[in-house]
Chains A and B, each alone.
Chain A
Amino acid sequence: MASEMLPDEEYEVQDLLLNVGPQHPSTHGVFRMVMTVDGELVKDVVPYIGYLHRGAEKLCETMDYRQGIGFMDRTEYLAGHNAELSYVMAVEKLAGLEVPERAQWIRMILCELNRLSSHFMFMGAFGIDVGVFGTPFIYAWREREAIIDLFEEISGDRMMYAYFRPGGLAWDVPTNFVQRVKEVLVSSKTGIKDFDGLLTDNEIFRARTQGIGYISAEDAIDYGMSGPSLRGSGVPMDVRKDEPYLYYDQIKFEVPVGKNGDVFDRYICRLEEMRQSVSIIEQCLEHLQPGPIMPERMPRMLRTPPGEVYVRTEAPRGEYGVYLVSKGGNRPYRLKVRSACLSNLQPLKQMSVGQYVADAIIVLGSIDIVLSEVDR
């Protein structure tokens, strides 16, 4: 270490404080971490969050249930459908609404498509983090673009969909929906295959990611991690399997888990999960039948009885939970979003201390944070 080489009485030796973010290309938004580095080794990491805090939960308390949907999109802008799903399911559970079958299947398809688009985003951004000049990013962007275009055709918006409603959907999907989804799946399958060649089988990529950012299964559970970041450590925890919602119990799919709990395993879990999502969507399309998309009798103004409810779903980044307290009336008394990213971010220090500066960057990339979900 450098401190042992210099005489103490003449020089005061300090470790270097390196401020990464909030304006840094690899912090995936406005995240800031202050690293204490000794040469190239990271000795300490202090994360700072809150740059994107907009008080979405508090704002929802001032609006009726339907107006809150839009805010859920904005808490998780890369997987808006999944975020909306938790919220509308919580409202439905509280209000005791029965959702028609067709609406449920369409919700499942859209959520899985959104998982695909979100994971494509991860693949591209992670490629840039490990230092490829744009190629995986552009390839991922191409596939994501196809999915986003489909969402635009359905909901009218590319990121902030506000398409789910308590009780069902805002309107029915276009008539060519099934055909369009199949087209998108074809391009997504090629995209997933591309990533095997671009990243998975690349020697340098493996050398960079294997054995880096290790976290044990016990520690990951203790920190409250979820989603692919947890499954990378070998814990087969998936809300879709453990507490099936929608019709996930009627669908056959596997939960890919990693073995080593390193950056590479978290990456490969996501890649496998994308293959599973494609198969889930294909099965869902077979079940899709014409029918109503909203319950026959819906009140003009949705009111809920007093009570509290917690609903969790498996969003691309992990367990996205919504805790809703109602004291009657048409707006929530308290809304709390259980953010997967916030919990996944906790072991950042444990995973990066003792590694190189370049590793700390890819460790942050491998837990795939969305800052708007962390800060809300």
Chain B
Amino acid sequence: MNTHFIFWDINVWADGALRLLMITGLMTVVAMGLIYLERKVLARFHQRVGPQRTGPLGLLQSVADALKLVGKEDLRPTNADPWTFELAPYLVFIPIFLGFVVIPFVADWQVRVLDLGILYFVAASSLTIVGWVAAGWGSDNRYAMIGGLRSAAQAISYELPLVLSLLSVGIVAGTLNLNEMVQGQSAVPNIVWQPMAFFIFFIAALAELNRTPFDIPVGESEVVGGPFVEYSGIRWSMFFLGEYAGMFIMSILAGAVFLGGYEWPFGGELGRGWQVVLVGVKSSIFIFLVFWVRASMPRLRIDQLMGYAWKVLVPLSLVQVLLNGAVLVYGGPKIILTVTGLAGIVFLFWITDRAVSKPRVRPANPAMQTEAAS
């Protein structure tokens, strides 16, 4: 069985392998580019200049970092569990890599078109958590273990709002196939119908990516890097690459699901080059938002993080799913979704603000104190 690969027909399996190979290259290059970009953008927020000594404008900074990391000694603590410790970086990296299979970069270019593309993506990418917990457990380090368990708790909590917000878009679009979803947005992008779902998706994606304000598992000032604390050299860089590749894939997904991917709402046929530019711009918006939040937000505490997911985001996204179903079944005008979505955002702001407006004095637990004193 043959399939069409760019210009010629080749075997299906060879085609898949070639496309995956291209994805690997793309992912590595983009991740390194993102690292450079993040350093430059954060430097601007800090009123610094950022990397500038390695190559023109410091463009080779990531290459230099990668070379340094490859050259470093691969250390393993004596008491670490060898298999868990050494396999954990791959367990983080491979699921993210698998997620790329369904991502529509431009029209008719992805590894495979799956009818349940979103389901596949969510299922594959949530497996990274196994790697995080394995790294935390296998390192034989208490900071690493606390970090690993934190990341497990966080992933379980934020997987739900992420999936529910994607599901509510799926209901409106009438499909879970990412390509069909993008093509369905040729007139109006989904964010117009589902503003609140986009908001919830953004928050949950930050938590999935372990970015500020949800960088609790790696909290530099508390658990000193969490699961990565014992890693060095190439294994550590695998985690790092995975993190930025995850950010890239999440931004492309956000672009495809909410912002219309490679489609252009103002009519006209777009060539492949323009589609790439469009996807790039849309994902850059998302990535810049992530950097921006990182430069300005403190870190939440673990109980606040879970409380926010279970008490605010999950109910709100469930309401959104119910509302979408009701509007579609009883045939209301779609503008209801926009209005309620905007109202939902206002409600989200209000409830977040209310949660912090009153100081809650929580004196130390007296029972614990006596226990500790004894």
Mark A residues whose CB is within 8 Å of B. 16-19, 24-26, 36-37, 40-41, 43-44, 127-135, 138-139, 142, 198-199, 202-208, 210-212, 214, 260-262, 264, 349-359, 361
Contact = CB atoms under 8 A, between A and B. Distances in A.
A131 B362 contact: no
Contacts of B365: 353-354
Given A16-B142, A203-B356, A211-B360, A25 B220 contact: yes
A133 B303 contact: no
A264 B298 CA distance: 14
A128 B224 CA distance: 12
B192 interface: no
Nearest to B220: A25
Contacts of A127: 298
Given A26-B222, A207-B355, A264-B359, A356 B303 contact: yes
A210 B268 CA distance: 54
A129 B221 contact: yes
A357 B146 contact: yes
A25 B216 CA distance: 15
B362 A202 contact: no
User: Which 6 A-B pairs have CB atoms at the shortest separation, nearest pair first?
Assistant: A131-B299, A354-B365, A354-B364, A44-B372, A210-B359, A130-B298
Given A25-B224, A44-B372, A358 B301 contact: yes
Interface stretch (B45-53, B99-107, B117-125, B182-190): B45-53
Contacts of B213: 131, 204
B42 A133 contact: yes
18 contacts: A18-B142, A24-B224, A40-B302, A43-B368, A134-B42, A134-B46, A202-B296, A203-B353, A207-B355, A208-B301, A214-B364, A260-B359, A262-B359, A350-B364, A356-B303, A357-B223, A358-B222, A359-B301
Contact of B222 (A17, A204, A207, A361): A361
Nearest to B45: A135
A139 B224 CA distance: 23
A284 B368 CA distance: 50
B363 interface: yes
B221 A214 contact: no
B212 interface: yes
Interface in B208-267: 212-213, 215-216, 219-224
Contacts, number: 140
A138 B300 contact: no
Nearest to B360: A211
Contact of A18 (B146, B212, B299, B353): B146
Given A353-B369, A356-B301, A133 B362 contact: no
A174 B224 CA distance: 45
Interface secondary structure of B, over-half rule: loop
A17 B47 CA distance: 40
Given A24-B224, A358-B219, A131 B298 contact: yes
B130 interface: no
B73 interface: no
Interface string B38-64: 000010011110000000000000000
A16 to B, nearest CB: 6
A138 B212 contact: no
Interface in B86-105: none
Contact of A353 (B298, B352, B356, B364): B364
B79 interface: no
Nearest to A27: B221
A223 to B, nearest CB: 14
Contact of A204 (B146, B215, B298): B298
Contacts of A359: 301
Interface centre among B143, B295, B301, B365 (most CB of A within 10 A): B301
A202 to B, nearest CB: 6
Nearest to A203: B356
Nearest to B142: A18
B140 to A, nearest CB: 13
Contacts of B294: 133
A310 B337 CA distance: 73
Contacts of B303: 40, 356
Given A130-B221, A131-B213, 20 more contacts: A16-B142, A19-B142, A25-B220, A40-B150, A43-B372, A129-B221, A131-B222, A132-B297, A132-B299, A135-B295, A135-B296, A138-B46, A205-B298, A207-B355, A208-B300, A210-B359, A214-B361, A352-B364, A358-B216, A358-B219
B297 A36 contact: no
Interface string B113-150: 00000000000000000000000000000110010001
Interface string B330-374: 000000000000000000000011011001111111001101100
A131 B297 CA distance: 8
Nearest to B223: A357
A363 B361 CA distance: 14
Given A25-B224, A206-B356, A361-B222, A211 B361 contact: yes
A206 B303 CA distance: 15
Contacts of A139: 46-47
B154 to A, nearest CB: 12
Contact of A208 (B45, B143, B146, B298): B298
Contacts of A132: 212, 295-299
